[in-house]
Amino acid sequence: MSELTKIMLRIIPFLVVIIVISVKVRKGDFSKEELGIQNPESYRKAISWWVLFLLFCVITEMLLYKFNLLEVKSYTFDYKTSLLKIIGMLLLAPIAEELLYRGLFLSKLIQFKVNKHAAIFIIAVLFVLLHSFAYEQTLASKIGIVQVFIDATLFGYARLNTKSVYTSIVMHITGNLIAIAEMYLL
């Protein structure tokens, strides 16, 4: 199977999630407010969450690099394959995952009277389990599990604190942008 085919198979589910959620919102099955598809109640809060997340990412990556714990798989794909991978990682995955995890799943757990902290924890664990690297037995994978769990927890609190899934989408895009830069530049 070609790399282009593999990448297409990885990004199609994200497109499907985005389309299904969009259709469900238009039909009235989900409300925009329920999913957090609305501007943040405070742009100051949203920007603060983003800046703190960016600082967390940069400091974490610098510390991992300093202690020789930063393992980055370098990618050298052709232009089309690289472009699709970047679009998938930078736009489709963050939008689909945030709509699903911090939009739909988090709001449903809270509607079912699950404590918000427990709901964020449950969603963060689920988020880690559904990322493929969690099943590798490497040091990078174990570090990745911790990083993704912390990221998912921060995304959940940011979404609830700002009442907008847009905040967690921007944070998620930022984290993925750093990962893409490492993959293609290091």
Structural domain including 157 reads 3-185
> How many angstroms separate the CA atoms of 165 and 180, rounded?
22
Residue 168 pLDDT grade (very low, low, confident, very high; cuts 50, 70, 90): very high
Question: In this predicted structure, which of 12-21, 72-81, 86-95 has the lowest mean pLDDT?
Answer: 72-81
Summarised one tens digit per residue, pLDDT across range 26-83 is: 999 999 999 999 999 999 999 999 999 999 999 999 999 999 988 777 667 788 888 9
Lowest mean pLDDT among 7-11, 84-88, 115-119, 135-139: 135-139
pTM assigned to the model: 0.94
In this prediction, residue 134 carries a pLDDT of 58
Residue found under tokens 């911790």: 146
DSSP sequence for 101-159: IIIIIHHHHHHTT--HHHHHHHHHHHHHHTSGGGG--SHHHHHHHHHHHHHHHHHHHHH
Comparing CA positions, the residue from 50, 165, 39 lying closest to residue 107 is: 165
Domains: count for the chain: 1
Q: What is the average pLDDT across 5-17? A: 95
pLDDT digits (tens, 9 = 90+) for 105-160: 999 999 999 999 999 999 999 999 988 765 678 888 889 899 999 999 999 999 99
| pLDDT score of 177 | 97
d(CA 174, CA 67): 23
Tokens 């699903």, located at residue: 100
Distance of alpha carbon 45 from alpha carbon 66, whole angstroms: 31
